[in-house]
Amino acid sequence: MSGHVHIVGGGLAGLSAAVELAGGSERVSVYEAGPACGGRARSYLDRQLGCRIDNGNHLLLSGNPAVYRYLGLIGAQDTLVGPKRPVFPFVDLADRLRWTLDLSRGRVPLWVLSKRRRVPGMRLAELRGLLALMEATPDMVVSDCLQPGSLARRLLEPFAISVLNTMPDTGSAALLGAVVKESLARGGRNCLPRFPAEGLSESFVDPALAHLSVLKADVRTGSRVSAVEMADGSVAALHLGDERIALGPEDTVIMAVPAPVATSLLAADLPGFSAPDQFESILNAHFLLPQAPVLTGGLAQARFIGVVGGISEWVFVKDRILSVTVSAANRYATRDLDELAAIIWNEVRAAIDPAATVPLPVAMPPLRIVREKRATFAATVQQDRLRPGMRTMAPNLLLAGDWTATGLPATIEGAIRSGHAAAQAVHARRGMPGRPK
CA pair distance 211, 397, nearest whole angstrom: 25
Q: Which stretches of the chain drop beneath a pLDDT of 50?
A: 1
Comparing CA positions, the residue from 401, 365, 402 lying closest to residue 51 is 365
DSSP 117: T
Angle at 72 between CA 68 and CA 77, to 5 degrees: 70
Q: What is the pLDDT of residue 376?
A: 97
The residue type at 205: V
CA pair distance 383, 378, nearest whole angstrom: 7
Q: What is the CA radius of gyration of the chain?
A: 22
Q: For residue 293, how many other CB atoms are within 10 A of its CB?
A: 19
Q: What distances in angstroms separate CA 311 from CA 5, 34, 40, 324, one per listed residue?
A: 44, 31, 22, 10
Strand 321-326, strand 234-240: pairing: unpaired
Architecture field, domain 45-82+193-199+279-377? Alpha-Beta Complex (3.90)
Q: What is the pLDDT of residue 432?
A: 56
- Please answer whether residues 198 and 79 qualify as being in contact, where contact means their C-beta atoms are separated by less than 8 angstroms: yes
Q: What is the pLDDT of residue 25?
A: 87
Q: What is the pLDDT of residue 218?
A: 97
Comparing CA positions, the residue from 315, 358, 391 lying closest to residue 162 is 315
The residue type at 282: I
Location of each CATH 3.90.660.10 domain in the chain: 45-82+193-199+279-377
Say how many CA atoms lie within 13 Å of 33 toward its Cβ. 16
Comparing CA positions, the residue from 418, 421, 410, 384 lying closest to residue 41 is 410
Q: What is the pLDDT of residue 56?
A: 87
DSSP 211: H
Domain boundaries 4-35+221-277+379-429, corresponding CATH code: 3.50.50.60
Location of each CATH 3.50.50.60 domain in the chain: 4-35+221-277+379-429
CA pair distance 177, 140, nearest whole angstrom: 11
Q: What is the pLDDT of residue 242?
A: 95
Q: For residue 360, how many other CB atoms are within 10 A of its CB?
A: 19
Helices (H) and strands (E) in the chain, counts: 14, 20
Comparing CA positions, the residue from 362, 357, 365 lying closest to residue 294 is 357
